Amino acid sequence: MKSAVKFFFVLTILLVTIKTNAQNPVKEIGVITSTIVSTQSIDITTPSAFASVIAYSPNIIRVRVDKQKLKPDFSYAVIAPPQTVKTTITQNDSSIILQTDSLKAEIKKNPFSIIFYNKEGKIISQDEQGLNISWVGEEVSDYKKMQDDERFIGLGEKTGNLDRRGSGYTNWNSDVPGYSASQDPLYSSIPFYIGIHHNLNYGIFLDNTFQTDFNFGASNDRFSSFGARGGELNYYFIYHTKLSDIISSYTSLTGRMKMPPMWSLGYQQCRWSYYPDTEVIRIAQTMREKKIPCDGITLDIHYMDKYQLFTWDKNRFSDPVSLTGNLKSLGFRTTVIVDPGIKVAPGAPAFERGLQQDAYVKYVDGKYYSGQVWPGWCYFTDFTSEKGRAFWRKEVKFFPDNGVSGIWNDMNEIATWGQKMPNNIIFDFEGRKASHLEARNVYGFLMARSSNEGYKEATNKRPFVLSRAGYAGLQRYSAIWTGDNVASDEHMILGVRLLNSLGLSGVSFTGMDVGGYTGGSASPELFTRWMQLGAFFPYYRNHKEYNNRSSEPWTYGEEAIANLRPFVNLRYKLLPYLYAAFYESTQDGLPVIRSLAIENTFDANVYDKTYQNQFCFGNALMVAPVVSTKDFAKIYFPKSSWYDLFNDSVEQGGKEKIIQLSMKELPVYVKESSIIPTQSLVQSTAYSPSDTLIIHVYKGNQSNNFIYYEDDGESFEYEKGNYYKRNISYDPSQKSIVIDKPEGSFTSKFKSIQLVFHGFTGVEKLRIDDQRVAFKRAQYSFLTDNSTAIAGEHSCNVLIAVFKNANNKIVIKY
């Protein structure tokens, strides 16, 4: 009798739902009518949809919902398969419970909705009752209850504040030259954000390449939501107690970067455009004469013959191999711009090969799509097809054959004149076929992938690929910069927030056009501030547009050079620290440039508009950006104690402070207990530093450890164990610093170690491996020549000891 009553109840609900949906332009997901339970997943049917909920890992639950039966699994972004997870699944008349050891999902049956709990039973996130999941036409959205005081951060390259509450965003890769400080969308799409409330934090990654939309309480006070203009609702819910672990889990799904070539971490000089070849050499020689360290010259579109891909303008660049060779002898690598549009030029070799290999995207009737860009009418390689990618990989060989070391993928949103690519273009999408609506957001990502793979195949060396557009997972293949920014204080500070947000979204190798690309010329003061700040960007490039005055450092005057050069020098001294930060990114996905929210997630001050632009460079250094129009800075110091990098004065955490500044200064602070390896100054990474590694240790109350890392800087031999890695630990309770025995088969370039102790007043003796060693007190400066003891405004009193870089474990007691 009970089963009959239950049957009629479900039937009644079903009939009501069908009738309601037939009359309602909003199609609701409705009641669960059947389930199939497997070991760690549940397949669900409602009158409107099919769904799947799976324990993807102990800390990740994946949810898929579609109006049609779910298609075979496919993703360009996610490369990690589901783990085997110990999962408990139970159900009753009203709900289904899926539980791992870290996370619980309660799936309500009437109607279908989900509540996520942590293992203590606290609600992390839940669908908004009465809204849940629904469709308007082909657009699908999931509405989540907005928790009290909930914050939202991340979502990749997005303008606005660090805390995105009250704003809405769209992912639709767009060419937006000179974009405003509030413009959306921009060039890339990373549909991953982090929610924060009540000492809880979680991540949601919506893996859908259609246009996606996110609402964090914009124009409403009831919900946050995410959705897509087509395709299925396919999201990964990630929970950890620490925000840094959420980023690590997200990058375990979408992949982590490989080690970049060492030269790409040096300063890069670019302009639209440097030509002819004699001008390029002049720029390089002047860098050396002015003693401004630099590793790269980047060529914009004028190196090509009438902007045609895989060509050189022979009038401007008569011997490209000789040019790139001469630059390399001066310690410079060459990067060139590469757009996706191939000029429709019958007889042109690359164009004809693309036709022969059927490599280009087409209209629905099978004719090739052509759009206008710099060369004129162009066809576009279909990077969603293996045929298209194979074609591109072979063509990319043109660049290393000409001595080019870096590939800069621009205009790959896709940008075309008119900015209205037709939606009836068909992309292969690995044989699945997709329209422009589904393929656009992933196009730049796949172009970067093809460029990366082509360079690697041609050279078996680490590629450097820079991309303007991308999708989630882009960190596997390329660096990204923030596009055509404006020469203004507002854009300099906005750029910092963009980099912070990209870091929160799993992308480490990021930068902006230092000095501003468009919008006129920066003042000497703004350029100085931007160059000082750029020394702490993962990708450090100066770039200026055509028809503006050139933007090499010396064009801003001798005073500007005197104030910015020490920070470029500092960048090069910090390369051992920076390289280790990139290595960390390859291991755990944590970014090089880090929003303070990563380590201070529940500190309201880090979201304050006054302090939201502060960031950490690696784990040890905190930088406070300063606009050019002010000679003071208001700074917030989070928990911990903080040393001024330049004079070792100490600031206590949890406080705000206003400091006076000259144009020589940028506020940079070191977290207590930090370990920072540095080297002697070089003018290029092509040159060897002295054979002494300088390790700075900052006294503090917390234990800490640092993974020091070296390899050859250009090959993939490190993947075979040819690296040099040492754990360096600091334990204040034991009054010790321990340098563990090195791992790996690579031989360090450093023969000696110089230990520099900051804040260790009152130390009377120093023992290394139980042997008393000599030490001295001295003045140390990061901004000037630190090979000699220098007193002054940019120096600090330290304790210094030097010893051989032994290959066994080293124990230092103080």
Residue 410 annotated among the catalytic residues of the structure: yes
Q: Which of 153, 194, 192 is nearest to 500 (CA)?
A: 153
Residue 484 annotated among the catalytic residues of the structure: yes
User: Residue 694 is encoded by which pair of tokens?
Assistant: 């300088």
| Dist. CA 17–CA 12, nearest whole Å | 9
Residue 504 backbone dihedrals phi, psi, to 5 degrees = -65, -20
User: Residue 785 is encoded by which pair of tokens?
Assistant: 């020549």
DSSP string, 656-704: EEEEE--TT---EEEETT-EEEE----SSTTS---SEEEEEEE--SS-E
Catalytic residue among 163, 339, 484, 513: 484
| Dist. CA 105–CA 692, nearest whole Å | 54
Q: How far is CA 807 from CA 111, 726, 743, 810, in A?
A: 64, 10, 9, 8
Catalytic residue among 410, 513, 665, 711: 410
Catalytic residue among 207, 213, 313, 413: 413
- DSSP-derived pairing of the beta strands 41-45 and 50-57: antiparallel
Question: What is the torsional sign of CA 216, 218, 224, 227?
Answer: negative
| Dist. CA 797–CA 644, nearest whole Å | 12
For residue 501, the SS3 value is helix
| Dist. CA 580–CA 590, nearest whole Å | 12
CB 301 within 8 Å of CB 273: yes
Residue 740 annotated among the catalytic residues of the structure: no
Plot region of 463 (φ>0 → left; ψ -120 to 50 → alpha; else → beta)? beta
| Dist. CA 554–CA 269, nearest whole Å | 12
Q: How far is CA 667 from CA 611, 659, 774, 793, in A?
A: 13, 9, 33, 13
Question: Which run of H or E residues covers position 25?
Answer: none
* Tally of residues, the chain: 814
- DSSP-derived pairing of the beta strands 692-698 and 752-758: parallel
CA dihedral angle for residue 128, residue 131, residue 137, residue 139, rounded to 10 degrees: 0
Q: Which of 256, 278, 346 is nearest to 583 (CA)?
A: 256
- Quick one: DSSP state of residue 305? B
Look up tokens 């940079």; give the residue: 668
Q: Which residues are annotated as catalytic?
A: 410, 413, 484
